[in-house]
Amino acid sequence: MSSSSSSNVQRVHAALFPTHGPTRLHALPTLAKELGVRAVYVKDESARYGLPAFKILGASYALASTLASRWGVEAWDVAALRGAAAREPGLTIYAATDGNHGRATAHTARLLGLPARVYVPRTVEPWSIAAIESEGCTVTQVDDDYDGAVRAAADAAAAAGGLLIQDMSWEGYEAIPELITQGYMTITSEVDAQLPPGTQATAVVVPVGVGSLAHAVVQWYHGGAGRAAQSKASPRILTAEPEAAPCLSASLASGRESPTPVETSFTIMPGLNCGTVNPQAWPDLRRVISPRDALVVSDDDAAREVAALAALGVPAGPCGAASLAAARKAALGPDDVVVLICTEGTAGAS
């Protein structure tokens, strides 16, 4: 991402959420000693722009940017976006989700004065559905997995002439997923600014569902955008996936040119319960992430790290705690500076 694109992302987020600043980066020396590394930092996304997870970063930027192009206004001109929305009352925003992406999309749609319809797979729990519905949208549960919910949302949007905001790409649907990925780079931009002067991460651990957040991390550190990339000191990128849905791990292990879909099952990490890697993200993920660094964790692993992080003052949910569970399985050394991206709080499902 270019510096001008990064500036646009920051300007849009500042306009939409003017009362919120960066999320915390916790320094955890006790955990560093446990892991046998130089330092551990946790990027805490448990309260991002008033929601319990990071997804609002991508959904808000993609929706504002897409609507701005549609209506010929600036993406950070919230008043102009609301005014244009009032003049197109028939427009509805669509999304599929395991939890927080749908809630984030509906939250942004409501902020701009637009209705939203969100599709969820059969595995989504009633409490998560209620959280999405709290944003004033309509939720439809489909008798299918996450990939099936994406198809249902895309079909419904096409039939109704609505606007689909989705982080999964396919042929002919690439622009919006890329905007979502750009929005997620606010996390890595903040990490660069929050690390102590002269300190750079040597390993970044990120949870993976469809892989769009991991794609943002890879683009930032290995695509020339971030401070580490500019200094030619790019960190290793490690990923965390549940045993129920190890789509990236399976894809990297297969050695094939295209992602390998996997059959999913129940997990306490519902936001990571995705069976197919985002095709748009796959080439970069495959280029940068070693198969040994695509780590798979159990529900018991994640639950244990929720408690461990809580004891250290980090209110992580299972998806966010998966980063620590993966770090414990990784080959790390005494000189490593490790950044764990905690994608959700205790009330989230990334």
* Number of domain units in the chain: 2
349, pLDDT greater than 50? no
Residue whose structure tokens are 């790019």: 234
Bridge partners of residue 344, in order along the sequence: 53
Residue 143: domain span? 56-175
Nearest-angstrom CA–CA distance, 106 and 206: 25
Q: And the tokens for 182? A: 């750009």
92-107 pLDDT per residue, tens = 999 999 889 999 999 9
- Domain match, 264 and 322 both: yes
Q: Considering the entire predicted model, what is its pTM?
A: 0.94
Give domain status of residue 252, yes or no: yes
221: amino acid identity, one letter: Y
CATH code: domain of residue 283:
3.40.50.1100
Q: Residue 61 has what pLDDT?
A: 98
109-135 pLDDT per residue, tens = 999 999 999 999 998 999 999 999 999
Give domain status of residue 348, yes or no: no
350, pLDDT greater than 70? no
Give domain status of residue 25, yes or no: yes
- Domain match, 218 and 301 both: yes
Portion of the chain with pLDDT greater than 90, in percent? 92
243, pLDDT greater than 50? yes
Sequence-separated (6 or more) residues with CB below 8 Å from residue 86: 113
Q: Residue 233 has what pLDDT?
A: 76
Q: Where a domain ends, among 113, 144, 175?
A: 175
Torsion of the alpha carbons at 236, 200, 100 and 110, rounded to the nearest 10: -140
Instruction: Please tell me the least confidently modeled range out of 23-37, 43-57, 157-171, 222-236.
Output: 222-236
Cβ atoms 295, 330 nearer than 8 A: yes
The number of C-alpha atoms within 13 Å of 198 and in the hemisphere containing its C-beta is 0
Beta-sheet pairing, 39-44 with 337-342: parallel
Give domain status of residue 350, yes or no: no
Average pLDDT, whole number, for the chain?
Answer: 94
Residue 2 — very low, low, confident or very high, per pLDDT cuts 50/70/90? low
Q: What does 208-264 look like in DSSP terms, one character per residue?
A: -SSSHHHHHHHHHHHSS-SHHHHTT-PPEEEEEEETT--HHHHHHHHT-SS------
Cβ atoms 292, 10 nearer than 8 A: no
Average pLDDT over residues 291-320: 98
- Domain match, 46 and 66 both: no
Residue 337 — very low, low, confident or very high, per pLDDT cuts 50/70/90? very high
